[in-house]
Amino acid sequence: MEKKLRVGVLGATGMVGQRFISLLENHPWYEVVTVAASPRSAGRTYEEAVGDRWKMATPMPEAVKQLVVMNVNEVEKVAAGVDFVFSAVDMTKDEIKAIEEAYAKTETPVVSNNSAHRWTPDVPMVVPEINPEHFDVIPFQRKRLGTDRGFIAVKPNCSIQSYAPALTAWKEFEPYEVVATTYQAISGAGKTFKEWPEMEGNIIPYIGGEEEKSEQEPLRLWGRVEDGVIVKAESPVITCQCIRVPVLNGHTAAAFVKFRKKVTKEQLIEKLVAFKGLPQELALPSAPKQFIQYLEEDNRPQVTADVDFENGMGISIGRLREDKVYDYKFVGLSHNTVRGAAGGAVLCAELLTAKGYIQAK
């Protein structure tokens, strides 16, 4: 790419916003030129606005420290200086819907980490290796919004990344019933242990709204585009429990699966390690070379050993074995703020750029 595209990050001071900032440092296609946040942060430099709340393991990139934070509500002003934006705003669902549509209507593509538009019928919710064809609804969305280049695209919930890719790899064997329990890191709530000391040595068996997302969002990924909208798949039926655990980064899932077709463990593993998609074929900058790894050891995947596989963009699967009640069971692991949040959104943006949906203004 001759000239880097100018990127804005909405909600730049929060945890996911910070992850966007860190992942986009030295990106070959994109340059962060604008950071926007709530009115209380506006007018200060990014370094001042974040203060001692920088939550990433790597230092704040020098290139963003002196950027003056803009008011995210001043849509026209923010949009004027960027080619597209990543959205990680912390607002109510209705407010997020409204502000993301407002940015799209300024002819600014919005790639969102938020859940507000995940069920808007003509908004694609995409894991690039799984359902890139859902970007085909963008022209229909543009028609509804009255835009030529503006649109909204979203990525799905962080929790499903630890098991949905495996189920996708096994699609030909027709999984039809899934039971999953997710063990979710505290960064999924935007917290560190310093901010949430009561999570140390503790689990909380409830995460608001998470079980419904974990059961329903995979069905939208596996759905089809019909008459300009996405129609969700009917199966497999998924039931899920979501538990908050004392881990900083990394969502683990224990899943049980019934298949309509007879399949061996060896066939299932073969499908996992061979599974790839458009990001791998196009060698996109953030794409993992190996999307899913299978670990043979009985005690893997582990958060400490495996969460950063492929820089946090890969999925780790282990403990695949036959089950007495279901056909097979396995354990999956994904990085919730990289693949499951900002990294997944960056990969979506790269694929949208490669397909010509995101271009310089």
Q: Which residues are catalytic?
A: 158, 251
Distance CA 332, CA 170 (A): 14
What residues pair up with 31 in beta bridges, in sequence order?
Answer: 6
Nearest to 311 by CA among 289, 284, 282: 289
Nearest to 318 by CA among 306, 335, 304: 306
Torsion sign, CA atoms 136, 137, 138, 142 = positive
Q: What is the DSSP letter of 57?
A: S
Orientation angle between helical segments 15-23 and 343-354, nearest 10 degrees = 50
Distance CA 200, CA 103 (A): 40
Distance CA 108, CA 264 (A): 48
CA dihedral 78, 54, 352, 227 (to 10 degrees): -80
Render 202-269 in DSSP notation, one character per residue. Answer: --BS--TTHHHHHHHHHHHHT-EEETTEEE----SEEEEEEEE-S-SS-EEEEEEEEESS---HHHHH
- Parallel, antiparallel, or unpaired: how do β-strands 84-87 and 110-112 relate? parallel
Q: What angle do CA 267, 275, 1 make, to 5 degrees?
A: 170
Nearest to 272 by CA among 172, 343, 134: 172
Which residue is associated with the tokens 């919004």? 145
Nearest to 255 by CA among 361, 168, 314, 347: 168
Distance CA 104, CA 236 (A): 34
